């Protein structure tokens, strides 16, 4: 009798302990949006514990999934290094890290599987690493292996060679060159230059190569205190880019403003009225695509050199975990990406050179 009594007491204690543990798990998981990667690895897609810990019905899960942005267009800043020192730069050389090629490819494949249709490679200066060969192999991989609709690059143009075009030009849809002025003195004041290199000569040389090797040519311009009154109508018309992106100088804490920043861009900033004046003065250029601070800040999916999404909603760049560690879906939740603004600013356009029907 005593033995059975002890068994019953032990059984009751175990049940109470189990109930406590279950309740603790439920309470802890109820408010968490998702498992950590290590937890997720131990749970199958149909695991009832996984369903319990998410604390939501299938319908609410579906609604949450629908709210997740699709990484249709991604900007991968695989290096922060640059040979220029633009005073307003908002992605500065805070590290010299670059992922190994195969790891970068693995991340790009994850993005493609998650819905990526356009990839833009930027920096820093993307041609600085391995003299552009690393970049070229990523361009070829995305177009040839992953079949990405559009592959583009943003560069200052100073390190591009014709040899690069011969090797990789056929895989590239769009090459954007940053040019803020057609006055070399203004470019020097901005910091867009290196030694005796002439930025405008580099721009024209690359523009000709784009025609020769059938790459769509684009120009990016940052409007700031030093070029806000420039008249670029004649030069832009002559260069005839497929798009002329005109940005309002943007402040990002920790990049070009604040104690830890490598740049101090306050002296470059212009207000909305001055930005609009520049746009009005160039309104007859059909390829002009304006982007104010409001349109620009949260409407880009930005990956840093570690393949972390950068959330700029608070005026700084708050990184997610790397997509290489947690996957695209878990990382993009922390990107701060405004998909509606992305569409509003014209983020989706004819971006494959095969569909542009350009007269080469």
At residue 141, does pLDDT exceed 50?
yes
At residue 65, does pLDDT exceed 90?
no
**Sign of the alpha-carbon dihedral angle for 325, 330, 332, 334:** negative
What is the pLDDT at residue 11? 55
Q: At what angle do helices 323-332 and 101-113 cross, to 10 degrees?
A: 30
Lowest mean pLDDT among 66-70, 104-108, 309-313: 66-70
Using CA atoms, how far apart are residues 37 and 327, in angstroms rounded to an integer? 9
Using CA atoms, how far apart are residues 239 and 226, in angstroms rounded to an integer? 22
At residue 26, does pLDDT exceed 60?
no
Number of Cβ within a 10 Å radius of residue 201: 12
Q: Catalytic residue among 82, 179, 249, 312, which? A: 82
pLDDT digits (tens, 9 = 90+) for 29-46: 433 333 333 333 333 333
Q: Catalytic residue among 89, 210, 249, 312, which? A: 89
Question: Partners of 253 in the beta sheet?
Answer: 257, 316
| 354 Cβ neighbours under 8 A, 6+ residues apart | none
Confidence of residue 15 (pLDDT cuts 50, 70, 90): low
Taking residues 239-244, what's their average pLDDT?
98
Long-range contacts of 97-102 (CB under 8 A, 24+ apart): 97/305, 97/306, 98/129, 98/134, 98/305, 99/305, 99/306, 99/307, 101/134, 101/137, 101/138
- Please count the CA atoms within 13 angstroms of the CA of 263 that sit on its side-chain side: 25
Active site residue 142: no
Using CA atoms, how far apart are residues 23 and 148, in angstroms rounded to an integer? 47
* Phi and psi torsions of 340, nearest 5°: -65, -40
- State percent of the chain over pLDDT 70: 81
What is the pLDDT at residue 20? 43
Taking residues 237-253, what's their average pLDDT?
97
Using CA atoms, how far apart are residues 56 and 30, in angstroms rounded to an integer? 8
What is the pLDDT at residue 14? 54
Q: Environment class of residue 286 by beta-carbon count within 10 Å: exposed (0-12), middle (13-18) or buried (19+)? A: exposed
Active site residue 179: no
Evaluate whether 252 touches 272 at the Cβ level (below 8 Å).
Answer: no
* Domain ranges, ordered by start, for the chain: 72-356
What is the pLDDT at residue 62? 47
Q: Can you state the percent helix, strand and coil of the chain, rounding each to 5?
A: 45, 15, 40
Q: What is the pTM of this model?
A: 0.81
**Radius of gyration of the chain from its Cα atoms, rounded to whole angstroms:** 25
Task: Determine the CATH number of domain 72-356.
Answer: 3.20.20.70
Using CA atoms, how far apart are residues 52 and 24, in angstroms rounded to an integer? 12
Number of Cβ within a 10 Å radius of residue 67: 9
pLDDT digits (tens, 9 = 90+) for 286-315: 999 999 999 998 999 999 999 999 999 999
Q: Catalytic residue among 14, 29, 48, 86, which? A: 86
Taking residues 154-178, what's their average pLDDT?
98
């Amino acid at each position: 009798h005593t033995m059975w009594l002890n068994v019953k007491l032990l059984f009751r204690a175990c049940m109470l302990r189990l109930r406590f543990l279950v309740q603790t798990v439920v309470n802890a998981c109820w408010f968490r949006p998702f498992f950590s990667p290590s937890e997720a690895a131990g749970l199958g897609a149909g695991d009832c514990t996984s369903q319990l810990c998410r604390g939501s019905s299938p319908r609410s899960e579906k609604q949450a999934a629908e709210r997740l942005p699709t990484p249709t267009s991604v900007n991968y800043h695989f290096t922060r290094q640059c040979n220029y020192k633009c005073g307003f730069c908002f992605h500065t050389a805070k590290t010299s890290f670059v992922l190994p090629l195969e790891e970068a490819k693995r991340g790009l494949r994850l993005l493609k599987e998650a819905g990526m249709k356009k990839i833009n490679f930027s920096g820093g200066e993307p041609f600085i690493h391995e003299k552009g060969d690393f970049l070229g192999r990523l361009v070829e991989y995305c177009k040839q292996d992953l079949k990405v609709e559009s592959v583009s690059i943003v560069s200052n143009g100073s390190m591009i060679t014709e040899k690069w075009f011969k090797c990789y030009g056929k895989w590239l849809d769009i090459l954007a060159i940053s040019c803020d002025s057609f006055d070399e003195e203004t470019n020097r004041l901005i910091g867009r230059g290196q030694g005796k290199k002439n930025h405008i000569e580099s721009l024209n040389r690359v523009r000709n190569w784009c025609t020769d090797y059938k790459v769509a040519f684009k120009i990016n311009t940052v409007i700031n205190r030093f070029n806000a009154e420039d008249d670029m109508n004649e030069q832009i018309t002559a260069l005839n880019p497929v798009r002329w992106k005109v940005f309002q100088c943007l402040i990002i804490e920790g990049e070009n403003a604040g104690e830890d920043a490598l740049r101090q861009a306050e002296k470059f900033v212009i207000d909305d009225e001055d930005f609009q004046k520049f746009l009005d003065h160039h309104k007859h250029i059909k390829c002009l695509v304006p982007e104010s601070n409001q349109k620009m800040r949260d409407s880009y999916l930005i990956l840093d050199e570690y393949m972390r999404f950068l959330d700029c909603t608070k005026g700084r760049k708050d990184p997610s975990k790397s997509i290489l560690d947690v996957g695209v879906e878990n990382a993009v939740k922390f990107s701060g990406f405004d998909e509606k603004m992305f569409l509003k600013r014209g983020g989706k356009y004819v971006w494959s050179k095969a569909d542009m029907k350009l007269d080469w």
